[in-house]
C-alpha cells in the first residue's frame, strides 16, 4: 500500500476520532508507520506524521530516541536493527502501525520484542503479519526480556486518562519462544498487553486476528495484565504455554484498579495446550463473559479449555457463558469441574469451564 493510500484510508476512517480529539487540543496528530523485516533481513520502516505529512524513514540501529517531527512520538531502533520501541510523550497523538511484515527473525532472549509501544494511548495495530519469529533458547549472560519476541504494549505514567489499544486483522504464524518454562517468565507469544504504570485504565480490542502455532511462557498468544480485554472474531490454533495456552488474563483486584473484564466473543480455539492451567484460557480475577465461541481439543494439567482462577468466586456469573460449543475439553465428571451444565445455549459435548472447588 502506498503512503498516500494509507493516509487517505486512515484520514476517512478516523475522521470521527480526530474531530473528537481536535476539540480537546489542536495539537493531536495521527502517525502511520509501516515496518518490514522480511526473511531474516534487518528492518526498513517509515512513518507519516499527519494527513499531509512527509514520509520519515526510520534510521538506525542504536540511534537512541528520535522524535518523529511534528509529533510527540519518539522511536528507537535497537542495536539488533530489527526491534523498534515507540514512546509517546502525549496522550493525544495516535500511532497506527499498519501493513507491516516481519518474517524469519530470531531474537535472543535479552533483545526487546520486535515492536514495543510505550505510553501510546489509543494506538491501532492493523493488517500486520508476523511469520516464523522466535527467541533463541541460548541465554547469554544478560537480562532476559519480559516479553515474547513480537509485540508488547506497555502503559506509562504519562497516561492519566483511560486509554485503549486495538489489534485489527493481524496474523501471527509460528511466533514465540523457542521453548517454554515458568522460570523464564516471558509474556505473550504474539502480544503482551501490560497496563503497567499508567494512571488511566487500559482496554484492548483484539479483532479479526489470527494466531497459529504461537507459544511463550505465559500466554501462548496473548498475555494481559491489568487490562480489560475483548477478543472478537479471532482464531487461535495450536497455541502453547505453561499457563493460558492461548490467552493468559490477569486482573488486579478492583480495589486497586477499575474492574477489568475479559470478553470472548465469536472466537475459535482449536488444539490449545497449557502445561499447567488453562489449555485455551486462564482467567485470574476480573469479570468474565464468553459467548458464541468454539473450543476444541484443549489440553492442560488442570482446566483443558478454560481455567477460572478467581480469588473471589462471586465475581463469576454463569449466565455470562452463553452460546458456546465445547468439544474435547475434559472428560465429563472428572474433577475438578464446575459449571458443567447445559444452560444458555452452551453445547457441552464435554465440560469446558473449570475452576477451584470452592466455586462450584
Ligand X SMILES: *[C@@H]1O[C@H](CO)[C@@H](O)[C@H](O)[C@H]1NC(C)=O
By beta-carbon proximity to ligand X, the closer residue of 76 and 170 is 170
Q: Is 252 in the site for ligand X (CB under 6 A)?
A: yes
Distances (CA, A) of 84 to 43, 159, 299, 329: 9, 20, 35, 39
Of residues 195, 211, 328, 330, which one binds ligand X by CB under 6 A?
195
Min CB(158)–ligand X separation in Å: 16
In whole angstroms, the minimum distance from the beta carbon of 99 to ligand X comes to 8
Residues 224-243 that bind ligand X (CB under 6 A): 225-226
* Tally of residues, the chain: 360
Judged by CB under 6 A, the residue of 48, 194, 247, 287 near ligand X is 194
Range in contact with ligand X (rule: CB under 6 A) among 110-118, 136-144, 192-200, 214-222:
192-200
The sign of the CA dihedral 131, 117, 81, 53 is: positive
Name which of 108 and 266 has its Cβ closer to ligand X.
Answer: 266
Closer by beta carbon to ligand X, 5 or else 137: 5
Angle at 91 between CA 88 and CA 92, to 5 degrees: 105
Contact criterion met (CB below 8 Å) for 215 and 242: no
Q: What are the cell numbers at 27?
A: 495539537
Using the 8-state DSSP alphabet, how is residue 146 labeled? Answer: S
Please, where are the H alpha helices in the chain? 3-13, 15-22
Considering beta carbons, is residue 114 or 152 the nearer one to ligand X?
A: 152
Number of residues that bind ligand X (CB under 6 A): 14
Q: Are 58 and 47 in contact (CB under 8 A)?
A: yes
Q: Which stretch binds ligand X (CB under 6 A): 86-94, 104-112, 173-181, 191-199?
A: 191-199
- Whole-number Å distance between alpha carbons of 221 and 209: 11
The footprint of ligand X (CB under 6 A) covers 69-70, 126-127, 168-169, 194-196, 225-226, 252, 256-257
Amino acid at each position: 500500500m502506498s503512503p498516500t493510500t494509507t493516509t487517505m484510508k486512515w484520514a476517512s476512517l478516523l475522521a470521527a476520532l480526530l474531530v473528537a480529539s481536535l476539540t480537546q487540543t489542536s495539537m493531536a496528530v495521527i502517525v502511520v508507520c509501516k515496518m518490514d523485516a522480511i526473511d531474516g533481513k534487518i528492518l526498513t520502516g517509515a512513518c507519516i506524521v499527519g494527513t499531509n505529512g512527509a514520509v520519515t524513514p526510520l534510521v538506525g540501529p542504536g540511534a537512541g530516541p528520535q522524535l518523529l517531527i511534528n509529533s510527540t512520538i519518539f522511536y528507537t531502533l535497537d542495536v539488533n536493527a530489527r526491534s523498534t520501541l515507540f514512546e509517546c510523550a502525549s496522550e493525544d497523538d495516535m500511532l497506527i502501525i499498519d501493513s507491516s511484515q516481519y518474517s524469519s527473525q530470531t531474537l535472543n532472549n535479552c533483545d526487546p520484542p520486535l515492536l514495543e509501544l510505550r505510553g501510546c494511548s489509543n494506538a491501532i495495530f492493523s493488517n500486520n503479519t508476523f511469520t516464523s519469529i522466535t527467541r533463541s533458547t541460548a541465554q547469554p549472560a544478560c537480562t532476559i526480556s519480559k516479553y515474547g519476541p513480537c509485540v508488547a504494549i506497555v502503559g506509562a505514567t504519562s497516561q492519566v486518562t483511560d486509554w485503549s489499544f486495538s489489534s485489527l486483522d493481524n496474523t501471527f504464524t509460528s511466533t514465540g519462544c523457542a521453548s517454554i518454562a515458568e522460570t523464564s517468565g516471558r509474556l505473550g507469544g504474539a502480544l503482551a498487553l501490560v497496563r503497567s504504570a499508567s494512571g488511566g485504565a487500559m482496554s484492548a480490542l483484539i479483532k479479526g486476528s489470527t494466531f497459529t502455532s504461537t507459544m511463550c511462557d505465559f500466554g501462548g498468544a496473548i498475555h494481559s495484565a491489568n487490562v480489560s480485554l475483548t477478543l472478537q472474531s479471532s482464531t487461535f490454533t495450536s497455541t502453547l504455554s505453561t499457563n493460558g495456552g492461548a490467552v493468559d488474563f490477569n486482573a488486579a483486584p478492583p480495589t486497586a484498579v477499575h474492574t477489568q473484564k475479559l470478553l470472548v466473543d465469536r472466537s475459535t480455539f482449536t488444539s490449545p495446550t497449557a502445561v499447567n492451567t488453562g489449555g485455551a484460557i486462564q482467567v485470574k480475577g476480573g469479570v468474565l463473559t464468553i459467548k458464541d465461541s468454539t473450543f476444541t481439543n484443549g489440553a492442560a494439567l488442570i482446566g483443558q479449555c478454560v481455567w477460572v482462577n478467581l480469588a473471589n468466586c462471586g465475581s463469576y456469573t454463569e449466565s455470562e457463558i452463553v452460546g458456546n460449543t465445547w468439544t474435547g475439553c475434559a472428560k465429563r465428571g472428572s474433577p475438578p469441574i464446575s459449571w458443567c451444565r447445559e444452560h444458555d445455549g452452551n453445547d457441552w459435548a464435554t465440560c469446558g469451564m473449570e475452576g477451584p472447588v470452592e466455586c462450584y
